Structure 1
Amino acid sequence: MERIFIARITQAQYDVAHASFSAAHEMLDLPLLGTVDMERTLRNARSIAVLGIKPESRRDLDAHQIPLYLQKVGYHILPVPTRYPEATRILGVPVRRRLIELPAPIDVLNVFCKPEEFALHVEDALVLRPPLVWFQSGLLELSAARRLLDAGIPVAEDCIGCRRASMWPSIEPFEAQRSAAGSRTP
């Protein structure tokens, strides 16, 4: 059984870190998605393509642990590794090598690769036109983000796993959470 590692931080610590990212984005004049919209997206999303996902051989890295966590809580993960040509399946799902090879539609494109690696995939992202491109914290590529925003594609930057965990800390899948909470959603 795989263990899932999610950082244990307080909500206050998370809010301080998120506020500093938000302030930096405002200085750069990047209209990124806010917390309310990110959480709404996560409540409604079912499929998340992960660009830069790491295979099981690198299970100790966040780029494997966070997609694994998201899969465990009910999202359909579509792996698009930027390295590891030997990987044919990650998290039990066939890998794609390019974003334009993904089955449509996807709900979120989660970018888990270095900014210089994403620059090689921005054209595919523009063709794919996902409803949201979500960069992991610290991985925002500014010129690509501007191109996506100019094309009308919303952009977010935050740890998608931490944001999901802060909304609904249980790691039970969505459907079990909905049943337990009645009409409330995660």
Structure 2
Amino acid sequence: MDIHTDEDHDIERIARTTKVVAMVGLSPNEDRPSWGVARYLQACGMRVIPVNPGQAGHTILGETVYADLAAIPKDAGVQMVDVFRRSDAVAAIVDQALAELPDLQVIWTQLGVRDDAAADRARARGVSVIQDRCPKIEFPRFL
């Protein structure tokens, strides 16, 4: 069975094994969905590294914010990139993640966000892809 065709199996594996997430588009505003998802992931024991060029150098939820994925230290161990950006930004984010994150295992795009061509590029490199879903909604089924 191709693991990429069994999305629930992928989501369960991701929920149980992911320890470090880079969240692209994480807002410092507690009222924004990205903040709530990041806080939930932290409550699940995951480290969430914020990526937001407008907040670079500040902190969100106790973590230093980076301008982009390339700025995150290579030894940070980022396994998953969670994308809180519009669909038209996904391709560049995926390409940068593939080039810059040696421990990358998962690309996750939030509700309403997808880029099938970028997803295909990531899968061709052995990276799991979940699109148009939210880990805060999906993970409780498995944790």
Choose 1 or 2 for highest CA Rg.
1
Do both share a fold (TM > 0.5)? yes
CA distance in 1, matches of 2:117, 2:106: 16
Matched, 1:113 2:78: no
TM-score normalised by the chain length of structure 1: 0.65
Cα displacement (A) at 1:140: 1.3
Identity of aligned residues (%): 27
Is this contact kept in 1: 2:25–2:34, CA < 8 A? yes
Matches of residues 20-169 of structure 1 in structure 2 within 5 Å? 31=4, 34-55=7-28, 58-81=29-52, 83-85=53-55, 88-103=58-73, 104=75, 105-127=77-99, 128=101, 130-157=104-131, 158-167=133-142
TM-score normalised by the chain length of structure 2: 0.82
CA distance in 2, matches of 1:32, 1:100: 30
Runs of 5+ consecutive residues of structure 2 not aligned to the other structure: none
CA distance in 2, matches of 1:124, 1:59: 27
CA distance in 2, matches of 1:32, 1:61: 31
Larger strand proportion of the pair:
2
Runs of 4+ in 1 over 6 A off after TM superposition: none
Is this contact kept in 2: 1:33–1:156, CA < 8 A? no
Runs of 5+ consecutive residues of structure 1 not aligned to the other structure: 1-30, 168-185
